[in-house]
Amino acid sequence: MNIFVVGLSHKTAPVELRERVSLGDTEVRHVLTQLRESRTVLEGVVLSTCNRLEIYGLGPSARAATDFALSAVAKVTGVNRDLLWQYAYVREGEDAVRHGMRVACGLDSVVFGETQILGQMRDAYQLALDEDATGSVFNRLFREIIHVGKRAQTETSIGREAVSVSYAAVQLARKVLGELRDQQVVVIGAGHMAGLAARHFAAQQPKSLLILNRTLERAQALAAEVGAQARPLDEDEVRHALIQADVVLTAIGRGHYVVTQEMVADAMVSRRGRSLVILDIAVPRDVDPEVSRSTSVYLYDVDDLEGVVAANLEERARQEAVVQAMIDEGVRAFSHWLTEQEVVPVIAALHQRGQAIEREVMSSLVRKLPQLSERDQKVIHKHMMSIVHQLLREPVKNVKELSLQSGDPSYAETLAALFGLEFETGHNRVRVEWGQGSSYAADAARRPALS
């Protein structure tokens, strides 16, 4: 069996494609169902965020499994599989595990060190667990991934500053307009991303802060938290916001434009050349890209955020080496666990064989020496078991050390062969091939055959 991850992210795919493969929980369940019902992918987890879609899987052939996984995505989204492969990347073996830990720690995010991804990774695993799409290997793997991510957040400063896509948007507004104390800010939406943005904007103490949302109660709750005003979201309110505000941030992502070119063009007539910053952090986008053609309008989407807050990330960059060491430790721990799954049953079988031999010898001795008292029998039994344990101690110790040091369970198999052992491996246990793994962009040259 091979561990793999195949995915598309902000590093490899444009926002237009990421919008099309951004999966909700229902779509994720459909993909998990296809994975679970196949023989190609035995265990799977689907991670879908605004900036990445990744499928982690376990299967007998990583090449066939990655192709099947993207075929499942194509079936759910309607996106051509060949197009997905043009922008996909693949990690296998140790590289796949290491990649998952880097993602959980925020080292592969748009904004380095952002903390939201750990919760998203946890939710993705929980959904797969609920859908019975994971087994013993991925249950252990994702517990290790989440553990490393939590360590990175709690034991380093990698996630202590307010760095996220929402914060990057606020920083970009400051870069364009300067300090926001004299600026009017409008946030469209009241969900998680919009809430983070509203909190970051409130920290800048703008002249005014307005929350627009279709559900007024949610807008009012967020507004009360950040000291803003709240109004229901409709076209008239958006048009008014485009005329009055200096900064408009949208974070709804419902698949249709909340801000159109025509609305902005009308607003700019009334603004008389006053600059307008529009920050669209939603996927799918809330703002028509044609808006950027209007004079004095500065439109930014999620693809424009990378590098915006680089100056704020110096300390986190210094912490990266510490996090990398944690990741190395996590990879080793998972590798050791994999090896132990092969070693432990052999060692248990060896001890059982020793105990069985002792019982046979002891039974024969009692038959031949019926005069032995119960106390004598206990003394002899104790010394015989001591012989068994002393005889097995070094072979057991050495096979454990050799297997864990090399990551090769064949030492345990050799031990089993030497002692003629037969042991129960369990119906849910699988052999996972392990090594340095491989990574590559899944371009046409590496694409699996379409048979």
Please tell me whether residues 144 and 268 are part of one structural domain.
no
Residue 198 three-state SS? helix
The whole-number pLDDT of residue 431 equals 58
Please tell me whether residues 254 and 180 are part of one structural domain.
yes
Question: Is 227 labelled a binding residue?
Answer: no
Please tell me whether residues 200 and 304 are part of one structural domain.
yes
The whole-number pLDDT of residue 229 equals 97
The whole-number pLDDT of residue 231 equals 96
Cα 204 from Cα 420, distance rounded (Å) = 73
The whole-number pLDDT of residue 24 equals 93
Question: Is 52 labelled a binding residue?
Answer: yes
Structural domain includes residue 431: no
The whole-number pLDDT of residue 352 equals 76
**What letter would DSSP give residue 259?**
B
Cα 240 from Cα 146, distance rounded (Å) = 44
Residue 276 three-state SS? strand
Question: Is 215 labelled a binding residue?
Answer: no
Cα 293 from Cα 169, distance rounded (Å) = 20
Please tell me whether residues 258 and 273 are part of one structural domain.
yes
Structural domain includes residue 131: yes
The whole-number pLDDT of residue 427 equals 35
Please tell me whether residues 183 and 301 are part of one structural domain.
yes
Structural domain includes residue 427: no
Number of domains in the chain: 3
Please tell me whether residues 139 and 153 are part of one structural domain.
yes
Please tell me whether residues 179 and 227 are part of one structural domain.
yes
Question: Is 324 labelled a binding residue?
Answer: no
Active site residue 105: no
Structural domain includes residue 425: no
* CB distance 258 to 188 below 8 Å: yes
Question: β-strand 247-250 against 2-9: which pairing, if any?
Answer: unpaired
CATH number of the domain at 17, please: 3.30.460.30
CATH number of the domain at 257, please: 3.40.50.720
Cα 20 from Cα 255, distance rounded (Å) = 10
Question: Is 213 labelled a binding residue?
Answer: no
The token pair that represents 207 in the structure block: 């002249």
Rg (CA), the chain: 29
Please tell me whether residues 255 and 196 are part of one structural domain.
yes
**What letter would DSSP give residue 289?**
G
Question: Is 115 labelled a binding residue?
Answer: yes
Question: Is 22 labelled a binding residue?
Answer: no
Structural domain includes residue 447: no
Question: Is 383 labelled a binding residue?
Answer: no
The token pair that represents 263 in the structure block: 């609305």
Please tell me whether residues 44 and 190 are part of one structural domain.
no
Residue 250 three-state SS? strand
The whole-number pLDDT of residue 447 equals 45
Question: Is 120 labelled a binding residue?
Answer: yes
The token pair that represents 261 in the structure block: 């070119």
Question: Is 255 labelled a binding residue?
Answer: no
Question: Is 114 labelled a binding residue?
Answer: yes
Please tell me whether residues 274 and 299 are part of one structural domain.
yes
pTM score > 0.85 for this model?
no
Structural domain includes residue 321: no
Tens digit of pLDDT at every position of the chain (451 positions)? 789 999 999 999 999 999 999 999 999 999 999 999 988 999 999 999 988 999 999 998 888 999 999 999 999 999 999 999 999 999 999 999 999 999 999 999 887 778 889 999 999 999 999 999 999 899 999 999 999 999 998 998 886 655 567 888 888 898 899 999 999 999 999 998 899 899 999 989 999 999 999 999 999 999 999 999 999 999 999 999 999 999 999 999 988 999 999 999 999 999 988 999 999 999 899 999 999 999 999 999 988 876 665 656 676 778 889 999 999 999 999 988 887 777 666 767 777 777 888 888 888 888 998 888 989 889 988 988 888 888 778 877 776 666 566 556 566 667 667 667 665 544 344 556 666 666 667 654 444 443 3
Q: Please give the residue range of the domain that contains residue 87.
A: 2-161+436-441
**Catalytic pick from 13, 45, 47, 50?**
50
Cα 118 from Cα 136, distance rounded (Å) = 21
Summary count for the chain: helices (H), strands (E): 15, 11
Structural domain includes residue 449: no
Please tell me whether residues 276 and 347 are part of one structural domain.
no
Structural domain includes residue 315: no
Please tell me whether residues 178 and 297 are part of one structural domain.
yes
